[in-house]
Amino acid sequence: MGLANRIGAVALAVACAVLLLGVACRAGQTSEYRRLLGQAIDMPLDADVFRAPPGHNAPQQVHITQGDHEGTAMIIPWVTTVEPGSSTVLYGTSEDNLNYSAKGKHSQYTFYKYTSGYIHHCTIKKLKFDTKYYYAVGTEETLRKFWFRTPPKSGPDVPYTFGLIGDLGQSFDSNVTLAHYESNSEAQAVLFVGDLTYADNYPYHDNTRWDTWARFVERNLAYQPWIWTAGNHEIDFAPELGETKPFKPYSSRYHTPYKSSGSTAPYWYSIKRASAYIIVLASYSAYGKYTPQYKWLESEFPKVNRSETPWLIVLMHAPWYNSYNYHYMEGESMRVMYEPWFVKYKVDLVFAGHVHAYERTHRISNVAYNIINGLCSPIPDQSAPVYITIGDGGNQEGLATNMSEPQPSYSAFREASFGHAILDIKNRTHAYYAWHRNQDGAAVAADALWFTNRYWMPTDDSFNDA
Ligand SMILES: [Fe+2]
């Protein structure tokens, strides 16, 4: 070997060592937490959480979601089972004086041999920001009262606390997740990343499990808006049963304010809430070039004003970055289509579900690849979002425990436990994020860090474990 070659070999070895050291420094963590592995079993139909409220034709399954783009409207759905009853919501800012009313509509749907109850939807509008409203549904003898708080008007430094839940289902573990989330008194709304009831796992997609699920979650959903993302368990496409209209039970029961963001379908839309701009994408609706979702998203990103809503958050069901051996690469085709926009417009955080476990990535992107150049590895990118998979709500399918090894360098933390997360936005630059596994007390965070905003303070934040 000539001298030049020797120098070259040494340089190469040093370069490799530096590279390896760099990779080692940036290596992610696979949690060593050991939980008791057991099956996630659905709660039986006579479980107390599924009980219908007492009284003739009493409204049940009350759940609210944001009703417009700005946060001054609320969609209030509920179900009556004996007869339609009233579709009117009474509301006001004093518990004893519900001096406003809004009239909604009701409808029914059938699925194979199941016929739904009377599903009411009423949108109340022109609400004041940051105000506690009381509301009532039902008729006089079975009037049921609830309350909610509208978000503060959007502004760059308006604090707000979101819960993150995905793939919830209705198992005993689902109940633990919900109770664990409820123990956090600061959370004001939930960003839900899809897969609600898992009714489609039952024979004939037993739609009574849509009813039980909605009765189970009413204790939180009647008081806090949950922002809906459609998952694969919402598709309910069953040609063998004569059911060929996708999303029939889901879209009959869970409305979204899609029209107010210029969307043409309820599965992709956006809202503003306090200092956050939330874009909801549909993993199971067409997203290729020229499709309605593509055209909508293309025109949506330039509308985001980071001086008004600094935090740009995207929800979807199938994750783009996932190092578990479940649903591997199912999000890949959407990533190929949309990731360049996520980097260009500096999305802060992407939350997905689908994989029944927890994972957080570093800030990485993978947008250099074209069919010729072979550049197909994710690389560190401070303009890119952190991707969080939080499909660990606790449904009957159980945990995804099998991980790819070694842990890819883009993966910062992963653990196969049920849980939920809290995103506590403090101001335009900082948000505190914490993931809570179900086995811990409410105050314990199993994965926590400070995120800095990509527009206002794009520092390297994903190693900065709190
Ligand atoms: Fe899923």
Residue 105 pLDDT greater than 80, yes or no: yes
Is pLDDT above 80 for 27? no
Query: What pLDDT score was predicted for residue 34?
Result: 64
- Give the Å distance between the CA of 135 and the centre of ligand 1: 33
How far, in Å, CA of 312 to CA of 458, rounded? 13
Ligand 1 centroid to Cα of residue 318, in Å, is: 7
Q: What are phi and psi of 234, to 5 degrees?
A: -95, -10
- Enter the tokens of residue 416: 């196969």
348 Cα: distance to centroid of ligand 1 (angstroms): 23
> Does the pLDDT of residue 13 top 60, yes or no?
no
Q: Choose between 439 and 2: higher pLDDT.
A: 439
pLDDT at 312: 99
Per-residue pLDDT band for 35 (boundaries 50, 70, 90) equals low
Within 13 Å of residue 400, how many CA atoms lie on the same side as its CB?
24
**Ligand 1 centroid to residue 163 C-alpha, Å:** 19
What is the H or E stretch that residue 214 is in?
A: helix 208-221
Taking the C-alpha atoms of residue 392 and residue 359, their distance in angstroms, rounded to an integer, is 10
Query: Can you tell me whether residue 416 is helix, strand or coil?
Result: coil
Q: Evaluate whether 150 touches 71 at the Cβ level (below 8 Å).
A: yes
Whether 56 is a known active-site residue: answer no
Considering 106, 120, 233, 327, which one is annotated as catalytic? 327
The first and second tokens of residue 242, run together, are 């004569």
Q: What is the mean pLDDT of the chain?
A: 93
pLDDT of residue 443: 83
Please give the structure tokens belonging to residue 7. 């120098």
22: confidence class by pLDDT, cuts 50, 70, 90:
very low
Q: How far apart are CA 25 and CA 32, in angstroms?
A: 19
166 Cα–ligand 1 center, Å: 9
CA of 167 to the centre of ligand 1 (A): 7
Choose the weakest-confidence range: 19-23, 109-113, 328-332, 445-449.
Answer: 19-23
User: 149, exposed or middle or buried, with CB in 10 Å at 0-12, 13-18, 19+?
Assistant: middle
Q: What share of the chain is helix, strand, coil (3-state, %, to 5)?
A: 20, 25, 50
What average pLDDT does the segment 231-239 reach?
98
Separation of CA 197 and ligand 1 centre (Å): 11
Q: Is the pLDDT of residue 4 over 50?
A: no
- pLDDT (average), residues 97-114: 98
DSSP code string of 391-448: --S--TT-----B-SSPPTTEEEEE---EEEEEEE-SSSEEEEEEEETTS-TT--SEE
Q: From the CA of 200, how far away is ligand 1's center (Å)?
A: 12
Please give the CATH topology (third level) of the domain spanning 156-194+267-465: Purple Acid Phosphatase; chain A, domain 2 (3.60.21)
Give distance in angstroms: CA of 436 to centre of ligand 1: 20
Q: Which residue has the higher pLDDT, 141 or 204?
A: 204
- CA pair distance 359, 96, nearest whole angstrom: 46
- pLDDT at residue 38, as a whole number: 65
Average confidence (pLDDT) over 437-462: 93
Lowest-confidence segment of 2-6, 218-222, 308-312, 350-354 by average pLDDT: 2-6
Has residue 14 got a pLDDT over 70? Answer: no
Residue 74 parent element (H or E): strand 74-80
From 28-42, 166-180, 284-298, 438-452, the region with the lowest mean pLDDT? 28-42
Residue 12 has pLDDT above 90, yes or no: no
Distance between first and last Cα of the chain: 51
109 touches 252 (CB < 8 A) = yes
Q: Which residue has the higher pLDDT, 464 or 278?
A: 278
Give the mean model confidence (pLDDT) for residues 211-239. 98
Per-domain residue ranges for the chain? 156-194+267-465
1 — pLDDT class (breaks 50, 70, 90): very low
Residue 462 has pLDDT above 90, yes or no: no
Q: How far is the CA of 444 from the centre of ligand 1 (A)?
A: 27
Helix, strand, or coil here: 24?
helix
Q: How far is the CA of 198 from the centre of ligand 1 (A)?
A: 9
Q: Are 429 and 204 in contact (CB under 8 A)?
A: no
What are the pLDDT digits (tens) for 36-69? 566 789 999 999 999 999 999 999 999 999 999 9
Give 165 Cα–ligand 1 centroid separation in angstroms. Answer: 13
Average pLDDT over residues 154-167: 98
Q: How many angstroms does the Cα of residue 233 sit away from the middle of ligand 1?
A: 6
Which tokens belong to 466? 């709190």
Percent of the chain with pLDDT over 90: 86
Q: Are 431 and 449 in contact (CB under 8 A)?
A: no
CA 251 from centroid of its chain's CA atoms: 17
302-307-308 Cα angle (round to 5): 90
pLDDT at 36 (0 to 100): 58
Phi-psi region of 180 (alpha: psi -120 to 50; beta: other; left: phi over 0): alpha
| Residue 441 banded pLDDT, cuts 50, 70, 90 | confident
CB 278 within 8 A of CB 271: yes
Whether the predicted pLDDT of 377 surpasses 90: yes
Query: How many angstroms does the Cα of residue 20 sit away from the middle of ligand 1?
Result: 36
What are 264's two structure tokens?
């043409």
Q: Is the peptide bond before 54 cis (omega within 30 degrees of 0)?
A: no
Cβ contact 393:127 at 8 Å:
no
Local structure of 229: helix, strand or coil = coil
